Amino acid sequence: MRPTPPSWLKLLVPVKRTVDYAVKIRVGPKGVETKGVKHSMNPFDEIAVEEAVRLREKAKDAIEKITVVSIGPAKASEVLRTALAMGADDAIHVETAEDQVVEPLAVAKALKELVGTESPDLVIMGKQAIDDDSSQVGGMLAGMLGWPQANFASKVDLDAAGKQVTVSREIDGGLETLKMQLPAIVTTDLRLNQPRYASLPNIMKAKKKPMKKLKPEDVKADFTPRLETVDVKAPPPRQGGAKVESVDEVVAKLKEAGVL
């Protein structure tokens, strides 16, 4: 073991491969069709990776390592490569079966196990995945670990020397600022930053960065779903298209609808 200065911090960034946000999804007989559909990194996770990289650009040597982790099928390694190209140092891929549904609770349990082995000081992740829209993993993990949490972060100030993080978080009707001792968990909101594009040289370099492959057994997580999906339907289409000719008619219709 080499001697480690006390302020050296490790960051863990969980990322998810989801259907690309620009895709208009289709609901088939077996639920949402994901085969042959463009996938990419969950947009909120991209923001998390960007924030981790920016924190290091600011704190320089104080941050020893940024590890990205994804739990998912073989192709999830692609989003890990993207994260490495954005500036993460190494990656962990917990590879699951192609059609395995991994619920937030299972993800949180697996991450808890990885926190045990990787011992990060700060976990940064997206506030929600745009496929299941659960918005749960960050809070669940924080609860399981007994770590402080700051969800929906719009600003993160890391004091590496003091092992503290100050987070402005989006709440209904405003912002709230929290100061937490590390280790802690932060989930990212859309306004936190603008993720960078990975440059071609960085994409090439990312191919050489280490990626550890794990199996679900390695993280001791039981991936059996607690929720059985009964069915998935397309929402009822909206009856729109009623046009009016003047502002007066708009006001009249609003009165009719009882909203004015």
Partner 1 sequence: MFSSATRTALPRTATRAFSASARAKAETLVFLETKGDSLVPSAANAITAAKKVGGKVTGLIIGKDEASVKPAVDRAKKMGLDALLVRTSPALEHALAEPTAPVFAELVKKGGYTHFAAGHSALGKNLFPRVAGLLEVQQISDVMSIQDENTFTRPVYAGNAISTVKSTDSIKLFTVRASTWEPAQEGDKEAEVDVKEAENVGPEWVSEELVKSERPDLATAPTVVSGGRGVKSKEAFDETIIPLADALGAAIGASRAAVDSGYADNSLQVGQTGKVIAPNLYVAVGISGAIQHLAGMKDSKTIVAINKDADAPIFQVADIGLVADLFEAVPELVKKVEEAKK
Q: Report 33-72 residues binding partner 1 (CB under 8 A).
A: 43-44
The residue range among 9-17, 81-89, 164-172, 198-206 that interacts with partner 1, by the rule CB under 8 A, is 164-172
Instruction: Tell me the two tokens of residue 15.
Output: 């990322």
CB of 56 to partner 1, least distance (A): 23
Is residue 14 classed as helix, strand or coil in its secondary structure?
A: strand
Partners of 65 in the β-ladder: 10
CB of 60 to partner 1, least distance (A): 27
- CA pair distance 115, 192, nearest whole angstrom: 24
The residue range among 71-79, 90-98, 197-205, 249-257 that interacts with partner 1, by the rule CB under 8 A, is 249-257
CB of 47 to partner 1, least distance (A): 10
- CA pair distance 156, 180, nearest whole angstrom: 11
Among residues 78, 103, 113, 218, which is the contact residue for partner 1, using CB under 8 A?
Answer: 103
Residue pointed to by tokens 């046009």: 243
Q: Does 227 bind partner 1 (CB under 8 A)?
A: yes
User: Which residues from 116-145 bind partner 1, rule CB under 8 A?
Assistant: 130-144
Residue pointed to by tokens 């059609």: 99
Q: Does 157 bind partner 1 (CB under 8 A)?
A: no
In contact, 202 and 86? CB cutoff 8 Å? yes
User: Which residues from 170-209 bind partner 1, rule CB under 8 A?
Assistant: 170-179, 189-191
Smaller CB separation from partner 1, 81 or 127: 127
Q: Does 231 bind partner 1 (CB under 8 A)?
A: yes
Burial level of 153, CB count in 10 A (0-12/13-18/19+)?
buried
Element (H, E) at 78: helix 76-86
CB of 17 to partner 1, least distance (A): 14
